[in-house]
Structure formats: structure tokens, C-alpha cells
Amino acid sequence: MLLSYQGGPILVKKNDEGLPAVRTVGRYSSDAIKMLQDEAPENRKSFFENDLGKMPGSLAMTCTTYHNGRVYLFSPHPELSGAEFLLREAANWVKYDPDRPAENKKCVIS
């Protein structure tokens, strides 16, 4: 699935003792940072140097729980890519309904 990337954060999975596990929902398959660098004006190309090569395989979407809440993070922009359904499904998972436990088990996009 192609999603718009606008130069936002590259998410890093780090499971710390005492915190809930972080689930991977989606990963980057290409280096959008390289594309941004190629399209940048000459005086801005060096801005991207530190992040080149870090995107492929890194987290694009992830989720976890925190205290009594739920967290779902996106690095790309589904709303700019015609994939708004990803935001709806993530919001449905985040809103957690204790009366519907079957829908609350995993933070995955179906």
C-alpha cells in the first residue's frame, strides 16, 4: 500500500520492562527520505543525510496500550493517500469497548 510520507518521524520499536509491548502494524518498504532528498533544492539536500537508509523495514504504523488507554501511531499520512479507512480502523481500536472483547484483542488493520 502506498501512503504519503511528508518527512515526519521514523518510529523505533523499543520494548522496555514494565511497559506494554508495542505491536507492529505496518513497515516501510522503501526509503522515502531518499525521494525527499532527490526532490529538495540543492541547499536543503544535506538536511536528509542523517536519515538516509533508516526507513526500509522501520515502523510506519504501531500501537500499544498505556495505563487504561490505547495508543496508535502513524508515521505516514493515510488521509493524504486515499486510505482514510486506516484512520477509522485505528480510531475504532483506540476507543476500546469493554462490552465487545473480541474486537479489543489486537491492534491490527483488517
Q: Look at residue 70 in the predicted model and tell me its pLDDT.
A: 87
Q: Look at residue 27 in the predicted model and tell me its pLDDT.
A: 92
State pTM to two decimals.
0.76
pLDDT, averaged per 10 consecutive residues of the chain (110 residues), comes to: 85 81 89 85 84 89 86 92 91 76 54
CA distances from 25 to 13, 49, 78 (A): 11, 27, 13
- DSSP symbol at 65: E
Cα-based angle 104, 106, 108 (whole degrees, multiple of 5): 120
